[in-house]
Every structure is written in C-alpha cells, then in structure tokens.
Structure 1
Amino acid sequence: MAGVEPLVEEAAKKAAVAWLAVPGAGPAYLVWCAWLGGSLLVVSGPGEQSAPGLAGAGTVEVSLRGDHGGRIVTWTAAVERMDPAGEAWAELVPQLAGKRLNGGADLATRWATDCVVSRLTPVEDAPLVPMPDDSQAAPPKPSPATRLPKRPFRLHRVRGAK
C-alpha cells in the first residue's frame, strides 16, 4: 500500500457512499460501499444496488465526499470481481455483510449466488484528479412537471406611502 495516497485512504475509511464514473457507462452514479483490506468494496445485483458497467470495467474513477458534503478527492481504481471461492472473499465479505444495517445471517451466501462484489483498489502512483474551478453542477433535465411560477396573490391593494 506504499503507493496509496493518505488522502484517499482516510477519505475512503470514512465513506459510506462513493460516486463511480465507469468509462462508457454514462454519468457518474452513487453507490453504497465500505473500505476493507485496502480496497473499496461494492455489492451490486438483484436485490442490491445497480452499478451499470462496473463488473466488466477495468478501471473506474471514484469520487469521495468530505464531512461538509462536497467532493474532496477523485482517484482511479482498478476493478476486480471477487470470487466467492477465493481467500479474499472469505476474509472480507463477512466483514462487509456485518457493516450492512439491513442484512441477515445469510447475506454473504446470497451475494455469492446472486450478486457481484467488486473490489476497487487504488491504482498505485496514479495522479489524483484535481478539484475543478467550476461547480460541475448539471442543468436540470427538461420535465413536463416544471412550470413558470405565478405572481404572488394579494388580497388588498398595497398603496405607496405619501
């Protein structure tokens, strides 16, 4: 873990969610995650969260937020699909299942049969993505639910002071 930035490790330890940008999968999306064994673990599949393109990706961009709610770091991660028969699964997935608030005793077993557990490991010596100068706020998508606001209702005419 010599190449992992201390900022990445500290932010990931405190993170409960992360934004993932998978190349070719559209805009970044939010996922539940946990930092275990020097990697960020993400569960996706039936009955769990959706993570489009994550299981087949080689690398992803991971953005983590700070205590203030804003982004503090974005880093490149190598994606590895964990094998339920592997040694890392036996070590990390029971800990991951223990961190779930609404899990059950058979959660790790269900993940092994129905879901994908992805291990996102920081790419050593990869540069951190710098903070942008602008807000990166996207404009709202068009919707038929939007309308122009009406002028406020006034019961009595208000006259100016003389």
Structure 2
Amino acid sequence: MRIAEQVPITIRTARTMWLVAIGAGVFETVLIVTSGRAAGGSVIGVTVRAVVFIAAVLVVVRMYSGQRWARWVLTGALGLLGTLSLTADPVLWLAEGNSINEAVRNSGAVDLLFGGSRVVHVAAVLCGCVLMFVPSANAYFRTRPPRPAHGPTPVGDRL
C-alpha cells in the first residue's frame, strides 16, 4: 500500500491547507516588495519570512508523516501566534471605528489582492489546525510511533 493511501483524507487536506497558507504568505510578501510598499528593513523582513516559510514546509512534511510534535508546532507557532500576527492590526483598526466598506472603496488593486490573500491565508491556517485534530487525524497520530526530533534511534530503543 502506498503511503498516501495510509494517510487519512483529513491529514492530506490539512497538509494542503498548510501549503495554501504558506503560499498565501509568500504571495503577500512578493506583493508588498514588488509594489514598493516594503519598509526600510525589507531585506531582513523578507529573509525572516523566507526562513519561516521554509521551516513551515518542513514541519508540514513531518506532520504529514505522522510526527505528533509537528502538529503541535503548527498549531502553536502558526495556528496561534501566526494568526494573531495576521489579524491583530486589522482587528485594532476595526476597533478604532474604521469601516471595511470604506477601506474597500478606497483600495487599489494591490490592496484588494493583499486583502483577498490574507483572508485565504487565515482561513487555510484555521482549517489546517482543525483538520489535524478531528477523530481520524487523532487516530492517525496515535498509530504513528514517536521519533526523536534528531539523531539516530538509540540501540536500546530498537528492541
């Protein structure tokens, strides 16, 4: 049986959602840089984002292979902290009495593309988080033997 056939559809879909979220993050970064709206430290910002995107892809791969720690890293780092970083400014902006309708009316193409991407980004993160914890996903992670995060398995653990 091929590996993909052993992985529940919820985990395959969660993987897709995480990759969509990462792709949206890359798109948002490219959009900001190419539009000339990047702040003075854009090289550092882009470098940090690139490292986060690469690390996220690697953790998604580990989650897909059944590593329990990976789903917790995705949930905590990207699901919780990442979502807070993506939504804090818009929520504060709305709390100050600003209007979404007015923002849309005053937006250009780059703003609308960015906003649409951000909605897809957040929705994909939330879906990815939920799908990693439905019953079929929980069963999948329970049946996977835990692996050390790095290094070879000690001889005594092979018995």
User: Which of the five TM-score ranges fits, normalised by the shorter chain?
Assistant: under 0.3
The structure that is strand-richer by fraction is: 1
Q: Which has the higher contact order (CA 8 A, sep 6+)?
A: 2
Larger radius of gyration: 1
Task: Name the TM-score, length of structure 1 as normaliser.
Answer: 0.23
